[in-house]
């Protein structure tokens, strides 16, 4: 099985929850720098899925850095809060349009 196919299968397992979070964020708009609801929703999800979450990044109370490590010396993936709400929406919408071969 290709790495791409494995990745999309892993995303599909969590697709409903990711789409629900994207919808909740969309339905509860917050002012820039005051994204308390969105930040809490996303960081709770990330912690539940094994990410280490650092709050207050860059001096913003709702900004966070989420890091996922898998084993010693392996790859580390980090996403900043500015990208997470968009990433969840992209994952939900893109899978409706494009399916990997």
Cβ atoms within 10 A of the Cβ of 51, count? 20
Does the predicted model carry a pTM greater than 0.85? no
| Bridge-based pairing state of the strands 64-69 and 52-55 | antiparallel
**pLDDT digits over 20-39, tens only?**
988 898 888 888 778 899 98
**pLDDT digits over 34-54, tens only?**
889 998 998 999 899 888 888
Q: How much of the chain exceeds pLDDT 90, in percent? A: 11
Burial, 83: exposed, middle or buried (Cβ in 10 Å; 0-12, 13-18, 19+)?
exposed
């Amino acid at each position: 099985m290709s790495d791409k196919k494995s990745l999309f299968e892993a995303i599909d397992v969590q697709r409903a929850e990711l789409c629900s979070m994207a919808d909740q964020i969309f339905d509860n708009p917050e002012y820039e720098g005051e994204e308390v609801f969105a930040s809490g929703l996303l960081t709770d999800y990330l912690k539940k899925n094994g990410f280490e979450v650092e709050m207050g990044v860059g001096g913003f109370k709702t900004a966070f850095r989420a890091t996922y490590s898998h084993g010693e010396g392996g790859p580390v993936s980090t996403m900043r809060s500015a990208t997470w709400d968009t990433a969840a929406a992209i994952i939900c919408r893109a899978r409706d349009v494009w399916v990997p071969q």
